[in-house]
A and B are shown apart, each in its own frame.
Chain A
Amino acid sequence: MSTNSWLRRARCAVHTEREASAQCRGCGRLFCRECVTESEGAVFCSPCLAARTAPLRSSAAPSWVRRWGGQALALAGLVSGLAIFFALFLLLLSAVMSYPAQYWMGGR
């Protein structure tokens, strides 16, 4: 069976009487144009789109994890960002120091 004929026979997973015109990037099932939504350059069916865009609060995590998990992650990001800046500047200053003074035009 050629790809074209297979495509012509494919039906929407929800509306079986309709021809399929799109494939969900999330679950891979085929749908008609009405059953999919475009998001970030790809098409998704309703359940997959809902799962992608679901906020953290709808997860099954306990409330204290939901509340403080994001804050802790942000704090970790901030600290690691500052640590990277610190390490890079220390590296730069040490590299400048490692050159003999005459390289810096008499050390002035």
Chain B
Amino acid sequence: MPEPTARISPLGVLETGLAQYRRTARRELWRYYLSSGPFVLLLLWSWRQVATRRTAALPWMALGLAVTYTARTLGSGAYIRRALAAYAGSAPAGPRAEFKRVAAEIWRRAALLLLWVVLAPCVIFTAPLYVAAHYAPLSGDTRRPLRGCLRWAASWYVQEWGLLALLGLMALLLLINLLLLAFILPVLLHFLLGITNLLTMAGGARDLLDNSSFWVGLLLATYLALDPVTQCALAVSFYNLQAERDGADLLAGLGRLQTANPAARSRRALGGSPC
């Protein structure tokens, strides 16, 4: 059987992913932010502690980050699974929280993260490992999930670099927007409500730009805003890769055609021409 190649272009994946994100945002986003919020806040706090050389609690900080990242792994896994189910038009899986499944999901994510860190100097593995980490919760039902998600990710190598480049461009634009917002909002608050803040004081803007925690917070905010879109886009790509093997998209299209045109169906049943 030939290896699957993506039928859908990176731009198509991103476009469909964005549409999927907008369609499911109201119902599903709370799940993502509820799990990712604590990790991001703790990471920001830890950064501040480390930057100001408060190092006594370094192992405790790492432990807290590990625990909150585990929660994030599970929450974002549930989010991408639901995004895939919504895109495929199937019913989302119920709240299956068996110990074995949860443990396997965490192990897969940790193994992929470790692999990514080890292979970080070889830039060529960055994109497939990043994509495989997102596919890990989706390939849980297959026989060899870890190998499966790596194989799915490797099967559209060139296109995923294109997708990552587009996402990088989006992240840059979002970062610039957030930066402008961070500078404009305090000044507006000062003019409208008279609230004094760092930016309205002399040298305040310079102080803010010199603050590493501000930049880390900005990067994390960009990541939090864009990651759900990335998850939806990768759910779309996963569906398309699978559909090339099992023809699920063609079957769904056929089903839609049949429900959309009952008159043609009845004509076919009577033996007449469908046209």
Contact = CB atoms under 8 A, between A and B. Distances in A.
A104 B210 CA distance: 9
B213 A108 contact: yes
A74 B103 contact: yes
B123 to A, nearest CB: 19
A70 B211 CA distance: 49
Interface in A32-80: 40-41, 70-71, 74-75, 77-78, 80
Interface in B67-124: 67, 69-70, 99-100, 102-104, 106-107, 109-111, 113-114, 117
A90 B63 CA distance: 8
Interface string B129-156: 0000000000000010000000000000
A84 interface: yes
* Size category, B interface: 35 or more
Interface in A77-108: 77-78, 80-82, 84-86, 88-90, 93-94, 96-97, 101, 104-108
B58 interface: yes
Contacts, number: 88
A97 B47 CA distance: 10
Main secondary structure of the interface of A (DSSP, over half): helix
Contacts of A84: 110-111, 113-114
B107 A80 contact: yes
Interface string B172-183: 000000000000
B58 A78 contact: no
A85 B62 CA distance: 8
Given A84-B113, A107-B53, A89 B66 contact: yes
A101 B210 CA distance: 12
Contact of A74 (B59, B99, B110, B143): B99
A105 B46 contact: no
B103 A81 contact: yes
A75 B213 CA distance: 37
Interface string B194-216: 00000000000000001111000
B99 A108 contact: no
A85 B69 contact: yes
Interface string B1-33: 100000000000000000000000000000000
B52 interface: yes
Interface in B210-227: 210-213
A108 B55 CA distance: 14
Contacts of A101: 51, 53
Contacts of A77: 103-104, 106-107
A56 to B, nearest CB: 11
A70 B106 CA distance: 16
In the A-B complex, the 3 residue pairs with the closest CB atoms: A77-B107, A81-B110, A85-B66
Interface of B: 1, 46-47, 50-53, 55, 58-59, 61-63, 65-67, 69-70, 99-100, 102-104, 106-107, 109-111, 113-114, 117, 143, 210-213
